[in-house]
């Protein structure tokens, strides 16, 4: 009986190991790409009828999470979001298009880029609203960090974002160290 249980457990562990190895195979950026569309309604806006910045940040976080989930094949939690510049106003009735993809993986964390466009479907025009970079960490259902499969940039734009992610990470780490030293 004990031998049989050990064989079953061993088989289960091997199957889990194979699944984990498959989850860690390098993936092209295109596998993480996601798109989300939101229609701006009156409850999404300020008294002037313009989209609330907090609502847009919420949508950016959701769009980023979609790409992080696709890359990690696990839960992903938001660790940080860099600054956002609102380039053009978004109004009631406009469609907001959020396009996201993983730019680079750093063991358990990943940088996700989110591009936000506004489309006026009456006039058929599109404008860039904002771009944001977010860091997500892959976790299991108990909140323990998980390793994430490397991302493989294929296009020139993806390669630029991949390199840029490393520069942004290094700048962020340097800023944290500077603040830590200033507190001493």
In a domain, 116, yes or no: yes
Q: Of 15-29, 141-155, 163-177, which range is least confident?
A: 15-29
Question: Which run of H or E residues covers position 61?
Answer: helix 53-72
In a domain, 11, yes or no: no
What domain count does the chain have?
1
pLDDT at position 21 is: 61
CB 147 within 8 A of CB 138: yes
- At 7, the pLDDT band (50, 70, 90 cuts) reads low
CB 78 within 8 A of CB 65: yes
- Mean pLDDT of all residues belonging to the chain: 90
Structural domain that includes position 155: 26-183
In a domain, 9, yes or no: no
**Tens digits of residue pLDDT in 17-37:** 455 567 899 999 999 999 999
In a domain, 17, yes or no: no
In a domain, 160, yes or no: yes
CATH code for the domain in which residue 101 is found: 3.10.129.10
CA–CA gap between residue 36 and residue 55 (Å, rounded) = 14
- At 10, the pLDDT band (50, 70, 90 cuts) reads very low
Residue from 58, 52, 48, 172 nearest 111 by CA: 172
In a domain, 7, yes or no: no
Side-chain half-sphere exposure of 156, counting CA atoms within 13 A = 0
Q: Which residue has the higher pLDDT, 9 or 122?
A: 122
């Amino acid at each position: 009986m004990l031998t049989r249980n050990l064989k079953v457990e061993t088989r289960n562990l091997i199957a889990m190991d194979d699944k984990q190895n498959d989850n860690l195979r390098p993936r092209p950026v295109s596998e993480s790409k996601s798109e989300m569309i939101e229609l701006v309604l009156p409850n999404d806006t300020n008294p002037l009828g313009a989209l609330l910045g907090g609502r847009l940040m919420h949508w950016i976080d959701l769009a980023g999470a979609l790409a992080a989930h696709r890359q990690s094949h696990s839960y992903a939690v938001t660790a940080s979001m860099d600054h956002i510049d609102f380039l053009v106003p978004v109004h009631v009735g406009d469609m907001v298009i959020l396009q996201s993809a993983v730019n680079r993986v750093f063991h358990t964390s990943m940088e996700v880029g989110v591009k936000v466009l506004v489309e006026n479907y009456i006039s058929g025009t599109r404008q860039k609203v904002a771009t944001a970079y977010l860091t997500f960490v892959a976790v299991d259902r108990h909140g323990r960090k998980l390793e994430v499969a490397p991302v493989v940039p294929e296009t020139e734009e993806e390669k630029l974002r991949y390199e840029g992610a490393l520069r942004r990470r290094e700048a962020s780490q340097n800023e944290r160290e500077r603040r830590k030293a200033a507190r001493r």
